[in-house]
Amino acid sequence: MRTEISIQNLKSKFLDKVEELSEENIYTCYQCGKCSAGCPSISEMDISPCEIIRLVQLGQEKEVLDSKTIWICASCFTCVTRCPKGVDLAKVMEALRQITLRKNVDYVSPLSIPKEVLSQVPQIALVSCLRKFSA
Amino acid sequence: MKISYFPGCTLKTMAKNFEDSAIASLSFLGIEMVELPRWNCCGTVYSLTSDDLIHQVAPIRNFIRVKEARDTRVVALCSMCYHTLKRANKLVKEDKEKLDKLNNLMYREDVKYNGEVEVLHLLEILKNEVGFNQVSKKVKMPLKGLKVAPYYGCLLLRPPEVGFDDPESPTILKDFLESVGAEAIDYPYETECCGSYNTVVNVNLVVERAYDILSFAISQKAEAIVLSCPLCGFNLDNRQKEIKEKFPDFKSVPVFYFTQLLALSLGLDEKVCRFELNFIDPRPLLKSKHLIGGV
Write out pLDDT tens, residues B139-166: 999 999 999 999 999 999 999 989 899 9
Give domain status of residue B19, yes or no.
yes
Q: Which of B72, B95, B122 represents a domain boundary (last residue)?
A: B122
B71/B36 Cα distance (integer angstroms): 10
Q: Do B154 and A77 count as a contact with CB atoms less than 8 A apart?
A: yes
Considering the domain architecture, whether residues B114 and B225 belong to the same structural domain is answered as: no
Considering the domain architecture, whether residues A122 and A77 belong to the same structural domain is answered as: no
Considering the domain architecture, whether residues B98 and B181 belong to the same structural domain is answered as: no
Q: Do A131 and B43 count as a contact with CB atoms less than 8 A apart?
A: yes
The whole-number pLDDT of residue B43 equals: 94
Q: Tell me, what CATH number does B161's domain have?
A: 3.40.50.11810
What does pLDDT average to over chain A?
94
Q: Do B196 and A20 count as a contact with CB atoms less than 8 A apart?
A: no
Q: Do B198 and A72 count as a contact with CB atoms less than 8 A apart?
A: yes
Give domain status of residue B162, yes or no.
yes
Helices (H) and strands (E) in chain A, counts: 10, 0
What confidence category does residue A80 fall into, taking pLDDT thresholds of 50, 70 and 90? very high
Q: Show residues of chain A in contact with B205, CB under 8 Å.
A: 41, 44, 72
Does residue A4 surpass a pLDDT of 90?
A: no
Q: Do A41 and B200 count as a contact with CB atoms less than 8 A apart?
A: no
Considering the domain architecture, whether residues B154 and B13 belong to the same structural domain is answered as: no
Considering the domain architecture, whether residues A62 and A113 belong to the same structural domain is answered as: no
Give the tens place of pLDDT for each residue, B6-62: 999 999 999 999 999 999 999 999 999 999 999 999 999 999 999 999 999 999 999
Give domain status of residue A45, yes or no.
yes
Q: Do A129 and B201 count as a contact with CB atoms less than 8 A apart?
A: yes
DSSP chain B: -EEEEE--SGGGTTTHHHHHHHHHHHHHTT-EEEEPTT-----SS---STT--GGGHHHHHHHHHHHHTT-SEEEE-SHHHHHHHHHHHHHHHH-HHHHHHHHHHTTT-SSPP-S--EEEEHHHIIIIII-HHHHHHH-SS--TT-EEEE--TTTTT-STTT-SS-SSS--HHHHHHHHTTPEEPP-TTTTS---TTHHHH-HHHHHHHHHHHHHHHHHTT-SEEEES-HHHHIIIIITHHHHHHH-TTPPP--EEEHHHHHHHHTT--GGGG-GGGSSS--HHHHHHTTSSS--
Give domain status of residue B267, yes or no.
yes
Q: Which of B60, B89, B122 represents a domain boundary (last residue)?
A: B122
Considering the domain architecture, whether residues A21 and A58 belong to the same structural domain is answered as: yes
Considering the domain architecture, whether residues A99 and A132 belong to the same structural domain is answered as: no
What is the distance in angstroms between the Cα of B32 and the nearest Cα belonging to chain A? 25
Give domain status of residue A134, yes or no.
yes
Give domain status of residue A35, yes or no.
yes
Note the maximum CA span of chain B.
62
What is the distance in angstroms between the Cα of B121 and the nearest Cα belonging to chain A? 17
Q: Do A125 and B45 count as a contact with CB atoms less than 8 A apart?
A: no
What is the distance in angstroms between the Cα of B289 and the nearest Cα belonging to chain A? 31
Question: How far, in whole angstroms, is CA B280 from its chain's centroid?
Answer: 18
The whole-number pLDDT of residue A11 equals: 74
Considering the domain architecture, whether residues B111 and B158 belong to the same structural domain is answered as: no
B110/B100 Cα distance (integer angstroms): 14
Nearest to B45 among A23, A98, A131 (CB): A131
Number of domains present in the structure of chain B: 2
- Determine the structural domain holding residue B88 and report its residue range: 2-122
Q: Tell me, what CATH number does B62's domain have?
A: 1.20.1050.140
Q: Which of B52, B53, B200, B235 to mutate to test the interface with A (most CBs of A within 10 A)?
A: B200
Q: Which of B131, B1, B110, B2 is nearest to B65 (CA)?
A: B110
The whole-number pLDDT of residue A1 equals: 63
Give the tens place of pLDDT for each residue, A84-107: 999 999 999 999 999 999 999 999
What is the distance in angstroms between the Cα of A108 and the nearest Cα belonging to chain B? 8
Q: Do B230 and A124 count as a contact with CB atoms less than 8 A apart?
A: yes
Q: Do B197 and A75 count as a contact with CB atoms less than 8 A apart?
A: no
Considering the domain architecture, whether residues A83 and A114 belong to the same structural domain is answered as: no
Task: Tell me the average pLDDT across B264-281.
Answer: 97
Q: Which of B70, B92, B122 represents a domain boundary (last residue)?
A: B122
**Residues pairing with B75 in the sheet:** B5, B120
- Determine the structural domain holding residue A78 and report its residue range: 7-103
Give domain status of residue B131, yes or no.
no
What is the distance in angstroms between the Cα of A90 and the nearest Cα belonging to chain B? 8
The whole-number pLDDT of residue B294 equals: 63
Q: Show residues of chain B in contact with A98, CB under 8 Å.
A: 49, 52
Number of domains present in the structure of chain A: 2
Give the tens place of pLDDT for each residue, B99-121: 999 999 998 999 999 999 999 99
Considering the domain architecture, whether residues B188 and B94 belong to the same structural domain is answered as: no
Considering the domain architecture, whether residues B72 and B170 belong to the same structural domain is answered as: no
Percent of chain A's residues with pLDDT above 70 = 99
Q: Show residues of chain A in contact with B196, CB under 8 Å.
A: 74-76, 125, 128
- State pTM to two decimals: 0.96
**CB within 8 A of B115, min separation 6: which ones?**
B89, B92, B93, B99
B24/B33 Cα distance (integer angstroms): 9
Does residue B295 surpass a pLDDT of 60?
A: no
Considering the domain architecture, whether residues B251 and B115 belong to the same structural domain is answered as: no
Q: Is the peptide bond before B159 cis (omega within 30 degrees of 0)?
A: yes
Q: Show residues of chain A in contact with B160, CB under 8 Å.
A: 81
Q: Do A94 and B49 count as a contact with CB atoms less than 8 A apart?
A: yes
What is the distance in angstroms between the Cα of B160 and the nearest Cα belonging to chain A? 7
